[in-house]
Structure 1
Amino acid sequence: MRKLLLPLLAFLMIVTSVSYDRVRAETKLPSTIRVGLFYDKTAGTSYMLASSSGFVVGIKKHESFIPLYSVLDKKLNVKIVNGQPGPVPAPSVMNGLKMTGKFLEFKGDSASQGFVLPLPAESPLYVASAGENGIISLNGRNYRGKIEFLPASNGGITAVNELGLEEYLYGVLPNEMPPSWPMEALKAQAVASRTYAVHNILKKRYVWFDVTGSLNDQVYGGYDSENARTNEAVNQTKGQVLVYQDEPILALYHSNSGGITEDCSEVFGGELPYLKSVKDEFSLQSPNSTWTVKIPRIQAGGFGTIYDLAIIEKSQSGRVKKMLVRGSSGDRVLSANDVRTAFQLKSNLFEIKTDAMVYITGDGKEKKPLFQLEGRTIVSGGDKAVIYAGGAVHIAGSDGSRKVPVTFQHYEFQGRGYGHGVGMSQWGAKVMAERGYNYRDILLYYYKNVDLAADF
């Protein structure tokens, strides 16, 4: 190692609140994005970097990248050390910065000693490839741009990838939508993903970065996951975002709506005029438009023996918001997210059946499953009572009574769709593209009251 100090659809036309023309964005889009790769509990105390052209190591200060060292080695290990060895002072560019008291050692694969830098509290140290292509590997995965290091909450090192916004999308799209899908669907996904990213950059949800590289935001696979078709979709929509009142929207999306999307307020609690429920015929007749999950009533979902499952509340789209679970371990009311987690369901758009259903009806038409009425007495107009208890139905009336055994082993969730259901359905976007709709049609079908803006 050598160290060197360096100085829509036709009926949508009646909706007058949306514009089909691309308009100029009021605010210039950010050119870069910072992606959290390892942070909080996942932050390590050391990382291995690789670059075929060597490295540049420096510090980012006041939004400027200031190089400090060049490294000729093709591999570079970065790790926390107890202190800075010897009397070597910190570079003068670090004067006035608040320090963490931690030190990072940068050591290549040659026999040279390496060097140590103090880790600032807010200004990240960075490593970039010295080559023109700018590709750098972190723990075996290749990335464009720079890798930055900051203190982590677990005592380790937060690793962040800072790169161009469009280059970030290259690493997102093939992980969010199959590259083999129609180009217009890929372009719709590119605009939605770009809008989501810009919204997060402006809202500053995180302290040390703009988005995570995981399912918490958008799955980001870096340079290794890029694909020519998805890169083309990004390039063809460069700078385009969806805006509401000149602000980039929270462009949520999901796999499959099951025939109807969900209002944002029903899932995330916030009322957003552009994330409204829409009927979605395009998501039907595709994978996960319908599904079935069967669970045993004994020790199902960690509740012991389940005596009763009762849907308490549904949203306007028909998704379950609250459900009562009565089991041998006690009664619990589950929220929408808890229901999906407890029973490993693909969505909250479902009905519940058993393998031995008994129904009651008051008018001969509307039926209610009796297992949701355990322990209750139903009095009919014919002076008959029906009681469900102890695995049997007791029907009593003026002409006598009889007992009908009801024994079932499984609950069956019969559902539709995949995901939270808010915003754009990706399978719906695919079908729309296959039927000849362009990416603008797709976006303006799923996101209401918005404009498609371009940053020129």
Structure 2
Amino acid sequence: MQKKILQLLVVLVIALAISFNNAEASGNLPATIRVGLFYDNTAKTSYTLAADEGFVIGIKKQNSFIPICNLPEKTINVTIKSGETIYVNSDAMKDLLMSGKYIEVKGQSSLAEINLPLPVDVPLYVKSAKDNVFLSLNGRRYRGVIEFLPSSNGGLTAINELELEEYLYGVLPNEMPPSWPMEALKAQAVASRSYAVYNILQKAGKASFDVTGGTGDQVYSGYDGEHPRTNEAVDMTKGQVLTYQGKPILALYHSNSGGITENSGDAFGTQLPYLKSVNDEFSLQAPNSTWVVKIPRTQVYDLEIIEKSASGRVKKLLVRGNYGEKVLSGSEIRNALQLKSNLFEVVADNILYVTADGENVIPVRQLMGKTVVSSDKEVVLSGGEVHIMSSQVSKEFLATGGYFEIRGKGNGHGVGMSQWGAKVMAENGYSFKDILLHYYTDVELN
């Protein structure tokens, strides 16, 4: 889940202006969720679907599924086509804005072919002809229905619409190991449900789908990714969400806080009142709480931390190298240096400096690959040993490029619930409610 977070927080001012009904937060949650499986550059021009009992094909209009035709085939291909060819028409499709393309639905039989015009913003859908029979899309099984809309890349956006709780079945095993303590899994279920509900309510009528199925939101793998223990955690917390002043929260989470969580304002630029930094000694008890990364001094001369957040995470890092210097922001630091988190210190190895005139001093590493001239010979400095000689003594030094050692803690952006911290808390007897109230400030569990 790393995870369109910045985009969500940028539009926070708009999101907070939305008036959520308190009844929604206290049990009357959205019944379904729409998950973007293939969209934008990942949208395909053709998909293969399978269902043992055949298919119903129709159109979703004003939140109602209107069937248009049936195909008794067990396997069909859905392909986007250009042109005006329409073999099946329906009163349900009147007055819709059309894309100028159509979808060809074709089974294995030569007679099993249907063509439907493709609307711009009203999805066509495919579902199993029999309830409670899973539908396979490109080899992966899903609950609910599969919907299709035209995509920006000329393909078909594929969306899985299903019940909210069933969506969580396909999320939890990807976000937390099913073998972890049940109270930690229950905490994850509530956090994931709260995150999903927040997105559903925020994006209502504004987007083709509520969440993506990848790391931009919560990783979702459909029915094939489900596990009995995580399904149990979802069932045991059914309908429960975290709220702040009666509204579902953006329940962010991460792998390990490294001992202290981060303010959302320091991580993403907008401070949410329930995503404040808290001390988290539980995460330090996890086996992966600390780490070390060594960065060779190849083209980098210096790494200087110039700004930290209140939790100690690096917000700005000055990098000096062969091609000048640049200040990296928090998100750029992790990407550029491939670090687990921004909670780190920089330790540099000792540098050997040399001077010819007693005034101009440079590190030996800056002489790598250059010709060094002495009184009796010249040599290209490429490594090995360098002899520094005075009138009385000679000393040998390793002429390596050296490295920077980055000593860090934690894993992830550090905002919200630490998953490893939740595991340790559960192992120490804390309930899922204790866990959630520890990591999210001034919230209620409804």
TM over 0.5: yes
Match of 2:350 in 1: 356
Task: Write the distance in 2 (CA, Å) between the matches of 1:24 and 1:47.
Answer: 36
Query: Which aligned segments of 4 or more residues in structure 1 are displaced greater than 6 angstroms?
Result: 385-388, 403-407
| 3-state DSSP of counterpart to 2:241 | strand
The one-character-per-residue Cα deviations of 1:181-206 (angstroms, maximum 9, x if unpaired) are 00000000000000000000111186
Match of 2:433 in 1: 440
After TM superposition, the structure 1 = structure 2 runs for residues 234-313 of structure 1, keeping only pairs within 5 Å, are 234-298=234-298, 305-313=299-307
Task: Write the distance in 2 (CA, Å) between the matches of 1:414 and 1:277.
Answer: 21
Task: Write the distance in 2 (CA, Å) between the matches of 1:113 and 1:202.
Answer: 39
Q: CA deviation at 1:408?
A: 4.8
The one-character-per-residue Cα deviations of 1:133-179 (angstroms, maximum 9, x if unpaired) are 23101011110000000011111100000000000000000000000
Q: CA deviation at 1:387?
A: 9.1
Match of 2:165 in 1: 166
Match of 2:18 in 1: none
RMSD across aligned C-alpha pairs, in angstroms?
2.3
Match of 1:410 among 403, 408, 425: 403
After TM superposition, the structure 1 = structure 2 runs for residues 45-444 of structure 1, keeping only pairs within 5 Å, are 45-85=45-85, 88=87, 90-204=89-203, 207-298=207-298, 305-356=299-350, 389-391=362-364, 408-444=401-437
| 3-state DSSP of counterpart to 2:116 | strand
Q: CA deviation at 1:92?
A: 1.5
Task: Write the distance in 1 (CA, Å) between the matches of 2:142 and 2:125.
Answer: 14
Q: CA deviation at 1:102?
A: 0.9
Q: Which stretch shifts more, 339-348 or 25-34?
A: 25-34
Task: Write the distance in 2 (CA, Å) between the matches of 1:82 and 1:244.
Answer: 49
Q: CA deviation at 1:25?
A: 3.2
* Structure 2: segments with no counterpart, 5+ residues: 1-22, 366-394
* Structure 1: segments with no counterpart, 5+ residues: 1-22, 299-304, 359-370, 372-384, 393-402
| 3-state DSSP of counterpart to 2:197 | helix
Q: Is the 8 A contact 2:56 2:129 kept in 1?
A: yes
Give the 3 Å change call, closer, same or farther, for CA 128–113 of structure 1 in structure 2: closer
Identity rate of aligned residues, in percent? 63
Task: Write the distance in 2 (CA, Å) between the matches of 1:258 and 1:356.
Answer: 28
Number of residue pairs the alignment of both structures matches: 390
Q: Which stretch shifts more, 135-144 or 283-292?
A: 283-292
Match of 2:13 in 1: none
Q: Is the 8 A contact 1:297 1:307 kept in 2?
A: yes
Name the aligned partner's letter for residue 288 of structure 1.
N
| 3-state DSSP of counterpart to 2:184 | helix
Q: CA deviation at 1:27?
A: 7.0
Task: Write the distance in 2 (CA, Å) between the matches of 1:145 and 1:41.
Answer: 24
Task: Write the distance in 2 (CA, Å) between the matches of 1:31 and 1:113.
Answer: 34
| 3-state DSSP of counterpart to 1:339 | helix
Give the 3 Å change call, closer, same or farther, for CA 26–166 of structure 1 in structure 2: closer
The one-character-per-residue Cα deviations of 1:276-305 (angstroms, maximum 9, x if unpaired) are 10110100131320001112111xxxxxx1
| 3-state DSSP of counterpart to 1:240 | coil
Task: Write the distance in 2 (CA, Å) between the matches of 1:166 and 1:138.
Answer: 20
- TM-score w.r.t. the length of structure 2 is 0.83
Name the aligned partner's letter for residue 362 of structure 2.
A
Name the aligned partner's letter for residue 335 of structure 1.
S
- TM-score w.r.t. the length of structure 1 is 0.82
| 3-state DSSP of counterpart to 2:126 | strand
Task: Write the distance in 1 (CA, Å) between the matches of 2:423 and 2:342.
Answer: 22
The one-character-per-residue Cα deviations of 1:111-142 (angstroms, maximum 9, x if unpaired) are 22501000101110000011232310101111
The one-character-per-residue Cα deviations of 1:211-259 (angstroms, maximum 9, x if unpaired) are 0000000000100010000000000000000000100001000000000
Task: Write the distance in 1 (CA, Å) between the matches of 2:56 and 2:112.
Answer: 17
Q: Is the 8 A contact 1:356 1:408 kept in 2?
A: no
Name the aligned partner's letter for residue 282 of structure 1.
F
Give the 3 Å change call, closer, same or farther, for CA 89–226 of structure 1 in structure 2: closer
Task: Write the distance in 1 (CA, Å) between the matches of 2:433 and 2:417.
Answer: 12
Give the 3 Å change call, closer, same or farther, for CA 27–388 of structure 1 in structure 2: farther
Task: Write the distance in 1 (CA, Å) between the matches of 2:441 and 2:361.
Answer: 47
| 3-state DSSP of counterpart to 1:243 | strand
The one-character-per-residue Cα deviations of 1:352-386 (angstroms, maximum 9, x if unpaired) are 1123269xxxxxxxxxxxx9xxxxxxxxxxxxx99
